[in-house]
Chains A and B, each alone.
Chain A
């Protein structure tokens, strides 16, 4: 369960440089062209238990096809790293490594995210229903889980972008809590 949740959280670790697109195929085509990127992020978690959102910020790096690093700098330093199917979290001298291939649901998320990052539509549609709205200047891609197991964890993922840049990822949990991550690209390769 813990591992599944941790894997699931990787959604928060998304960055994918993108070009504007009118339909999913075009968007995917544009996304597939960009291999790597680095960005700043601010993440707000709206948790029913807390009166104010919990805020964290830091930097993220993606190296195609399967290396993702999310470095949280505030409020505490924490590094989350995904290398192929190996997820590791480092926090205050503690290091936790999880093999995602042992966690089919978490792997479904990761594969879907990788699918988006690398423009792999087939991988995405295996687990999600995709819908795109807006224009190429300002678009919103919505992912709705088609699998019950995934839906038990997340209701909806909303990725929005301006032209070729992803600017925010919102992720709505099954229990109604949500997190919104705003992304500001630092450089594009």
Chain B
């Protein structure tokens, strides 16, 4: 016996060490991937890529408050120049004059290779006549004044054509030469990090660099009352991770301390307490190990779920200690283990259903809880008895049990009232069923309301792009991608003309495909031809052709210009625009064409019809998000249903009695109804995780109902069993209930549902207990 115990302990210890080694090497993450689909559709893949590495995910908005406008402008300039030096940022913009000089000179120099208006007809007599007449018309107009100095060099107005394609959207407000908020009280900057949005460590480093540079600059300028406000997806990720990290520690600590205190109060023995926690520690470790092995990355939220697992996993040792105290191990194995095993199986059915979820976070939670519960049960059954030996020295809990017995008798009177309450709850839920569920994925987001409000305010002040509408094209190589962007652009142009869209961005504007560049270059005439055509075209024009010598010369220069490549764009902000819209990835190249809405909303049907046959994909990010969440919700409903059915089937096969099955199930159904209706009355808007919580009430709550239901006529519940059930139920309620304290909506929802649900399940099971079960 001694050596077997030592062997078991050694085996267990080895397993634990191996597990610890795996956990040590695991990658933990607290980013958005928790919410992103594991098997995305083509549209969802775009969404995922954008969230992980898209430009929008790398934007940080900065607002400088305090001081005078001039002081803020000074600080803004200082901050911009210092941040630009660090190399951590792809761009730092604050609206300073001169920052667009490089862009303008690039566009002007390459105008004949860039302008879509350049074709052979452009330089014919008729083409020149019409283009130059148009430029002269422009001169007469207010908008034409900016063209006057450029007219001798660019009489056909190519620069005007290029600039008018660019974003004509609202520019941020400006004070003292730098961007300002709408009310002018804050200086605004827009920063794009070099680090990907999904690289939370690097985002955190970038944010810290900004903050410390701000402090340094403000101090150097003597602006003591200047404050920095910052927002963006990167900050959300960093804050969420901090929240989750903090909560994992805090919740596990609260839950552990409360459960340890309860167990110590019951056991009054350090030895039993330590032994009792053994399965819990094993389970928690096994959970992380399983997730790490299966998914590679462990989400912080998954670990946060550990506090609930502690409460659930400790149940098995409680049953063992309390129930075997009087009659010994063998009796416990014979009488109680089958019931406990059934309880473990129902829990596994519940958590196991989540494994099939396409919502990766949910699948991880399922695997984590499943492996944790299973391991705790196995350790309790096979390792714990070896270590305790025959002598448990458990305190006699029958006095508590007797009190419970008489309480249960009294509880019977609550049968009709509790049925009535449940019927009212069902009625309420049915009446509110349309508006009951929260339809937004953002309900699950760990970003606090305050952070979201700050973000909205900064976004509105700076007019940061939200990139809601995108056209996406995939191609094998860069040239094909750019050509596709050009042909799709032609179709989109028709929509701009009819006003269906306000405009769009395209990388081909600044980096035309080689074939487009070659065609434009081929359209450029020789000096002789151009001079001859100009002479003919301008005979009756107020503009004399001899004033256009620099035009003729520059067309010649353009014929010999090297082809525009991505490197040509270096040093301009256009490089950034191209890089963010033309993406190279493992499968090839993708082009993004963000759309700007016109006067009316963008019509998805029309968009798809316009793009039909081009292979281009139209994506509305908002719709995709909503669809994603609805898919999750729909799937979660099916999974919950499947989980419940599996539990019912399992119970039916084991109990072999419709009456006993009903006795087990009725309290659970009532508990679910009452919990959800109460949450609704308390103003909580249930979402996907509440639904999962409902499944878990059934999965976890059935453990208690089983003891009442499985005893049969000859086995009536003894006082010790009743006491163990109460204690186990309390630890579970503490474990899940602790999650209700969480600020992370996912954990909060499960906690607030399953915590009270577990207690109600026990209470209702006691109320509806068959008369013969309790003496």
A residues near B, CB below 8 A? 1-2, 5-6, 8-10, 12-13, 43, 45, 47, 49-56, 70, 72, 75-76, 78, 80, 89, 91, 93-99, 101-102, 177
Stretch from B4-12, B240-248, B450-458, B542-550 contacting the other chain: B542-550
Decide if A6 touches B543 in the complex (CB within 8 Å). Answer: no
Q: How many angstroms from the CA of A6 to the CA of B136 in the assembled complex?
A: 17
Show 30 residue pairs from A and B whose CB-CB distance is below 8 angstroms, ordered by the A residue. A1-B146, A2-B146, A6-B143, A6-B146, A13-B142, A45-B139, A45-B140, A47-B139, A47-B148, A49-B543, A49-B547, A51-B542, A53-B542, A54-B140, A55-B140, A56-B140, A72-B140, A72-B141, A76-B138, A76-B141, A78-B141, A80-B142, A91-B143, A93-B499, A94-B168, A96-B143, A97-B168, A97-B170, A98-B171, A99-B171
* B142 adjacent to A101 (CB under 8 Å): no
What is the CB-to-nearest-CB distance from B81 to chain A, in angstroms, rounded to a whole number? 21
Which of A12, A52, A53, A95 has a CB less than 8 Å from the CB of B142? A12
Report the contact-size class of chain B (Cβ under 8 Å from the partner).
Answer: 20 to 34
Please tell me if the beta carbons of A96 and B139 are within 8 angstroms of each other in the complex: no
The residues of A that contact B173 with a CB separation of less than 8 Å are 99, 101-102
B142 touches A9 (CB 8 A): yes
**Contact residues in A for B496 (Cβ distance below 8 Å):** 93
Considering residues A49, A70, A95, which has the most beta carbons from chain B within 10 angstroms of its beta carbon? A49
Inside 8 A of B543's CB, which chain A residues have their CB? 49-51
Measured CB to CB, the nearest residue on chain B to A54 is B140
CB-CB nearest 10 A-B residue pairs: A102-B174, A54-B140, A52-B542, A9-B142, A50-B542, A56-B140, A2-B146, A75-B137, A5-B145, A51-B542
B161 to chain A, nearest CB (A): 11
What residue in chain B is nearest A101 (Cβ atoms)? Answer: B173
Kindly state the separation between the CA atoms of A5 and B146 in the bound complex, as whole angstroms. Answer: 7
Q: Chain B nearest CB: distance from A50 CB in Å?
A: 4
Q: How far is the CA of A177 from the CA of B142 in the complex (A)?
A: 14
- B126-157 residues with Cβ-Cβ distance < 8 A to A are 136-143, 145-146, 148, 151-152
What is the chain B residue whose CB lies nearest that of A179?
A: B140
A76 to B142, CA, bound (A): 12
* Known contacts A94-B164, A102-B173; is-contact A49 B141 (Cβ 8 Å): no
A56 CB, min distance to chain B CBs, angstroms: 4
**What's the Cα separation between A13 and B142 when bound, in Å?**
10
CA distance A76 to B143 in the complex (A): 12
Chain B residues with Cβ below 8 Å from A78 are: 141-143
Give bound CA distance, A96 to B502, whole Å.
Answer: 12
* B334: chain A residues within 8 A (beta carbon): none
Tell me, rounded to whole Å, the shortest Cβ–Cβ distance linking B174 to chain A: 4
B141 contacts A56, C-beta separation under 8 Å? yes
Task: Contact check, B141 vs A95: say whether CB atoms are below 8 A apart.
Answer: no
**Docked pose: A49 CA to B143 CA in angstroms:** 17
Complex-state Cα separation, A98 to B93, whole angstroms: 19
Residues of B near A93 (CB, < 8 A) are: 496-497, 499
Contact between A50 and B136 (Cβ–Cβ < 8 Å)? yes
Chain A residue contacts of B136, Cβ below 8 A:
50, 54
CB nearest neighbor in B for A58: B141
Interface pair A91/B145, CB less than 8 Å apart: no
Per the bound structure, the CA–CA distance linking A111 and B174 in Å amounts to 18
Bound-state CA distance A93–B140 (Å) is 18
Q: A105 → chain B, closest Cβ, in Å?
A: 12
Residues of A within 8 A of B145 (CB): 5-6, 8-9
Which of chain A's residues have a CB closer than 8 A to the CB of B168?
A: 94-97
B699 to chain A, nearest CB (A): 59
Chain A residue nearest in CB terms to B142: A9
- The digit string for B489-504, where 1 denotes a CB below 8 A from any CB of A, is 0000000110100000
Checking B137, B174, B544 against A99 with a beta-carbon cut-off of 8 angstroms, the contacting residue is B174
| Distance of A99 Cα from B184 Cα, bound (Å) | 12
Contacts of A6 in B (CB 8 A): 142-143, 145-146
Contacts of B146 in A (CB 8 A): 1-2, 5-6
- Separation of A47 and B135 alpha carbons in the complex (Å): 13
CB-based nearest B residue for A99: B173
Residues from chain B with Cβ under 8 Å of A53 in the complex:
542
Chain B residues with Cβ under 8 A from A55's Cβ? 140
Given contacts A50-B542, A54-B140, A93-B496, 15 further A-B contacts (CB under 8 A): A5-B145, A45-B140, A49-B152, A49-B543, A52-B542, A56-B140, A56-B141, A70-B142, A72-B141, A75-B137, A89-B143, A94-B168, A97-B170, A101-B184, A102-B175
A95 to B174, CA, bound (A): 20
